[in-house]
Amino acid sequence: MSIEKLKTDIAIQFKQAGKCYVNGSEKQMVLQNITGDVPAGAVVTLVGPSGSGKSTLLSLCNLLLTPDEGEVRIEGKEVREWDVNKLRQHAALAFQTAPMIPGTVHDNLMLAARLHDISLQSPEELIQYVGLSKNILPRSAEELSGGQKQRVALARTLVNQSSILMLDEMTSALDPSAAKEIEELIIKIHKDEQKTILWVTHDLEQARRVGDYTWLLANGRLIEKAETHSFFHYPEKELTRRFLQGELAGGKDL
């Protein structure tokens, strides 16, 4: 295997990446020394207490935030060297709240196509692919239920045919059955399109079910990264054990 091939087998690579926020005169490190690889085609589930920096980490990957330290490489190329619009088409990000653009479901579905001036063959097919009826297309997107919005948000990112999909707590606000349906939809997308998925979830059962690898983030540090099975059954770090037992609520007691 050539070096080039090896390089691109890693979809996302963090190299001592760090991020700080400046609040007035105070500087707060929210991510420190993050090093890890997300293999192409894998599902990595990212867990951690609230405020540990999970969303921030995702935003570094599509340059919605700029790393202050270290590097983040997408398919071998540092995010700041990418053409940013191409990068974001390549590494899609779906937000926790699935914010809708004012307008119809159809407008939301067509958003990426409109932005990049490409024609979408069949919005009907796409909406059915994510498990919604095509009758929903002319409806106002704002009136949809939480689960329906998440489906539309997923469909919206699919238009770009990204090779990487980052999901930020997509199912947190949903009831268990709706959450399970979205989870199955994501698994289907993963199977059909061979996407690399970086999946933030606070549902540990979900993280265990869907992950190939699982990472634990606490207080801005990557505490443990392992194959999902061993992460849950043979955690190496004391902190991971405590987290799995539900003892790490906030980030403060670390």
Ligand X SMILES: Nc1ncnc2c1ncn2[C@@H]1O[C@H](COP(=O)(O)OP(=O)(O)OP(=O)(O)O)[C@@H](O)[C@H]1O
Quote the CA–CA distance of 225 and 37 in Å, as a whole number.
10
> Which of 6/101 has CB closer to other proteins?
101
Residues that bind Mg ion (CB under 5 A): 55
Provide the 8-state DSSP code for 162.
-
The stretch near other proteins (CB under 8 A) out of 79-87, 173-181, 195-203, 213-221 is: 79-87
In 24-154, DSSP assigns E strands to 26-39, 43-47, 69-74, 77-78, 91-94
Kindly state the smallest distance separating residue 52's Cβ from ligand X, in Å: 4
Is 62 near other proteins (CB under 8 A)? yes
Pairing of strands 196-200, 43-47: parallel
Kindly state the smallest distance separating residue 81's Cβ from Mg ion, in Å: 27
> Which of 117/238 has CB closer to other proteins?
117
Is 135 near other proteins (CB under 8 A)? no
Q: Are 113 and 159 in contact (CB under 8 A)?
A: yes
Contact code string over 86-125 relative to other proteins, x by CB under 8 A: xxxx--xx-x-x-x-xx--------xx--xx---------
Q: Are 250 and 49 in contact (CB under 8 A)?
A: yes
Angle made by CA atoms 237, 15, 93, in degrees to the nearest 5: 90
Q: Please name the helix (run of DSSP H) or strand (run of DSSP E) that holds residue 165, with its range, or none.
A: strand 164-168
Kindly state the smallest distance separating residue 176's Cβ from ligand X, in Å: 19
As given in the structure block, the two tokens for residue 87 are: 């990068």
> Which of 86/252 has CB closer to ligand X?
252
Q: Site residues (CB under 8 A) for other proteins? A: 62-66, 80, 84-89, 92-93, 95, 97, 99, 101-102, 111-112, 115-116, 156-157, 160
